[in-house]
Each structure stands twice: as C-alpha cells, then as structure tokens.
Amino acid sequence: MPEICRFYGIVIKMFWDDHEPPHFHAEYGEHAAIVDIQSLAVIDGWLPSRALGLTVEWASARRDQLLALWIRARALEPLERLDPLN
C-alpha cells in the first residue's frame, strides 16, 4: 500500500485495486481509519478527533487529486505523493 502523504504523525495510504467506494487509509499511531473521498466520512476504523479533523481538512483541499489517484490505483498505475497539510 503506497504512502501518498505524511503530516503531523498522520500517514495517508491508498491501495492499488482496492474496493469501492473511492477511499483512502489514514493511520495515526495505533489507530487507523478508512475515509470516503466523496463524503470525507469514516467508513471503517477510528481516529482520535484531532487527527480526524486534520485528515478531513487535508482531504477536503485535495479531493480532486485524491479521486484522480483513486482512478490511477484502480488501473494499477504508480501513485504520486500529495502535499502535506501546512
């Protein structure tokens, strides 16, 4: 699972050829969540509220890029890294 971004201890990853709906994986310490790209809702797992807030803030500014990466991942193409939250 390629890492596409890292910021404030949060690691964002996306699997190649993963299941629908379009989503990404966020890890923070021992916590992990799967976040829907369209709604930015957690569809599985859990993150502490501060980490989740930062993750949603990051993803909301990069939603189009995340969807483009999702399409590349489904086509088994290389994924580039996205800019971290500043």
- For residue 56, give every residue at least 6 positions away whose Cβ sits within 8 Å of its Cβ, in sequence order, or none: 35, 40
pLDDT at 1 over 70: no
Model pLDDT, residue 68: 97
Residue boundaries of the structural domains of the chain: 3-74
Over the stretch 29-75, which tens digit does the pLDDT of each residue have? 999 999 999 999 999 999 999 999 999 999 999 999 999 999 999 99
Single-letter amino acid code for the residue at 55: T
Over the stretch 3-19, which tens digit does the pLDDT of each residue have? 999 999 999 999 987 88
Helix (H), strand (E), coil (C) string for the chain: CCEEEEECCEEEECCCCCCCCCEEEEEECCEEEEEECCCCCEEEEECCHHHHHHHHHHHHCCHHHHHHHHHHHHCCCCCCCCCCCC
Model pLDDT, residue 42: 98
